[in-house]
Structure 1
Amino acid sequence: MIVSIAVVLGVAVVGGISALEHVLRTPGQAAADAAPPDASLVTALVERRVLGEPILVRGNITPGPSTKLLPPIGATGPEAVVTRVRVRNGQTLEEGDPILDIAGQPLIPLDLPFPLYRDLAPGLAGPDVEAVQVALRRLGYHPTKDGKVDTTTAREIRRFLADRGYSSPSAEAGTKPPVTPSADPQGATSAGLGSAENAVVLPRSLVLRVTKQKSKVTAVRAKVGAVLSAPDTVLLELDGTGPFIALSLTVDKATQLRVGQPASALDEESGKRVQVQVQAIGTKVGVDSVTGSSGVPVTLSFKGAPMAANDRSLLVEIPSEQDGDPVLAVPVSAVYSKPDGSSFVTVVMADGSTEDVAISADQAIGGWVKIQGDASDALSEGSRVVVGLQ
């Protein structure tokens, strides 16, 4: 029992002394205890690398090229109302398949060397007739090959139209052709057009000239109810490509690029950054149609989903891929200046001590400074240099 009391008393005395020491700290001790811990060094490694400046330039999102189909001659006006759209985006457009109905009449694409410049009727002859005959034979019909709208060719044209749900004007009693007999400027002839038997069999307003037998529909512009009042109205866009970024560079910067080189583009309005790559590099200096500045035209393609906002300006960064030998370099953030204007880096030694090493900072490229001269003896790849404190 006596031992237990002694132990308790001893603990109490020790605890009291500790509490008393806490209360009796000197002001210096209290300040030292309240002070923040010593700052630690933030370091970066000395690297051996090829130095090069990234290219920063503004570019514009530009719609990709496409083939735009316009109405044929005679298919526009106040009564040219679109009554049916027969195609959709992504569909393969094939020669001979109607794409629209205009005022109830089909608009049929044919691969022709030139647009039809007149309505075709029996008795006509010329290169336009021959072009239609070639197209009809390609589609499985059997007109003659003489470049004349004879009985056989007229019959095959009517059959071609009937297969597409349209009766040619000659099937209507009393129909008269919209032209008068005359010598054709292309060297073709017209004769006997005043009789019902010689009525028009293929109005030029039904034939839409295309230059390929198959194309991909990438945009349908015509809408049901729209009036095709202007000849420059776009009906469809074919074989269109996605949007790209267009920009101009000086000749010296353009020569630093290669096709396929990766880059990034920042939409400053939304804060979205996307990955792109160099798609094409021009060979001649031109004038940018958007900015008016001169330079070598460069296009960049989107690696993923393209930005849809056409004509929006983006900030493009193209990392440098300059040729050259790797050199010893430190980040710009590791370089400090003295009042006399000289520069130095602070090197962390193996034992944790630091040493200032004088360097020349006149070759800063792309955020890095080349190490040269006597500093090369004090620094090596993998050395740690101070860039800040934390």
Structure 2
Amino acid sequence: MRRRTAIGVTAAVVALAGAGTAAVVAERRSGGAPAGAPPPGATTTVRRETLAGSVSVDGELGYGEVVPIAAKAPGTVTWLPKVGATIKRGGVMLRADNKPVVLLYGVLPMYRELRPGVEGPDVALLERNLRGLGYAGFTVDDEYTDLTGQAVRRWQEDLGREKTGVVDPSWVVVADGAIRVAGRPVRLGAPATGEVLSYTGAESVVTVKLDADKAGWAQPGVKVTVTLPNGKDTPGTVASIGTKAEPKDKGEAPTIPVTVALGADAPLGRLREGPVTATYVSERRKNVLTVPVAALVALAEGGYGLEVVGGSGPRFLPVQVGFFADGKVEVRGAGLAEGMTVGMPA
């Protein structure tokens, strides 16, 4: 992975050095203008604002991690969805002996038969999905009542399954949302028990592999800007961070995968895969006085200053420099104030 630091300590040193080579080297005398120094060719204003430094890292646009699906259906695979197909809640994942195996949303796998009298979080998962599919007449809780069984019968009838009012885990698969079929490791006629499909999330995401020792900024909810393969920028949000460092080539630091979610209105067009750049704010300085870096003047006695214009005439004001970002620099110093007009050395 290539890591490009847009703003930081290194950039600050380079920017300051660049400013120094372009600045007037002045012999300041009692705060007045240096002898023989030309008047500034242009001026700017000291402003109070927030400076934000950013770091860009390389990533890949895609659908995220590929996950295998293990089915428990007895019999033979008689139908599979196409690779790239999107399956939503209640959709058919495959057919075993021509009977549908369907997708439900959740995190707890179906591990037992559900029937009236059973209680537990898996019952609540089932009832939430029934409600999400439009079935009603029962209370969404952790109790499988006769009313739940009636809703299940209506669901089974719509699926073309036998109306037993009992949900067997062999014809239900659970995922945490809509999925996109990534692979079909089995063919029609294969046993329906085992890994029959692989999938990713249904929405486009960005995957960034960060050096493990530089991933501290990546926390769920952190905002980033993603530059897409078409050159357009779109906002993104860190959705998840891997928990296992992955080894790279020999001699290189291990990396951690970070998934960045994109907004629904991301300008992807027909793009679904390709290299991207994710940019995040590495440091933010609020309510500081700033000037363009080019306004800095190298003083003969050392350090930097600003050529203050107006009043009784130009004078040089020593300043301390702080944070650099976007061609600007934080400045501090006695007598420095917001709104001052300062020169821009030619």
Query: Hey, what does 1:385 align to over in structure 2?
Result: 342
In structure 2, the CA distance between the partners of 1:335 and 1:55, relative to structure 1 (3 Å rule), is same
Q: What code does the residue aligned with 1:57 have?
A: V
In structure 2, the CA distance between the partners of 1:57 and 1:288, relative to structure 1 (3 Å rule), is farther
In structure 2, the CA distance between the partners of 1:335 and 1:254, relative to structure 1 (3 Å rule), is same
Superposition pairs of residues 81-120 of structure 1, within 5 angstroms: 82=79, 89=86, 91-93=88-90, 100-101=94-95, 105-109=98-102, 113=110
Q: TM-score, normalised by structure 1?
A: 0.46
Match status 1:55 vs 2:55: yes
| Contact 1:285-1:294 at 8 Å conserved across structures | no
Deviation at 1:93, TM superposition (A): 1.0
Q: Secondary structure at the match of 1:271?
A: coil
More helix by share: 1
Deviations 1:184-229, CA, capped at 9 Å, x for gaps = xxxxxxxxxxxxxxxxxxxx9x9445248xx865335689xx6466
Deviation at 1:107, TM superposition (A): 3.8
Consecutive unaligned residues of structure 2, counting only runs of 5 or more, are 1-38, 127-155, 163-167
More strand by share: 2
Q: TM-score, normalised by structure 2?
A: 0.50
Q: Secondary structure at the match of 1:371?
A: strand
Superposition pairs of residues 1-390 of structure 1, within 5 angstroms: 41-49=41-49, 53-64=53-64, 68-70=68-70, 72=72, 82=79, 89=86, 91-93=88-90, 100-101=94-95, 105-109=98-102, 113=110, 131=112, 134=115, 164=160, 207-211=170-174, 217-219=178-180, 227=188, 232-234=195-197, 237=199, 240=202, 242-248=204-210, 254=216, 259-267=220-228, 269-280=229-240, 286-287=245-246, 293-294=253-254, 298-306=258-266, 307=268, 312-322=274-284, 326-337=287-298, 342-350=303-311, 354-361=314-321, 363-366=322-325, 367-372=327-332, 376-387=333-344
Distance 1:275 1:258 in 2: 16
Deviation at 1:234, TM superposition (A): 1.5
Deviations 1:231-260, CA, capped at 9 Å, x for gaps = 64427x5975542443426657725x6654
- How many aligned residue pairs are there? 253
Q: Secondary structure at the match of 1:349?
A: coil
**Structure exhibiting the larger radius of gyration computed from Cα positions:** 1
Distance 2:207 2:160 in 1: 42
Percentage of matched positions with identical amino acids? 15
Consecutive unaligned residues of structure 1, counting only runs of 5 or more, are 1-38, 115-130, 140-159, 167-203
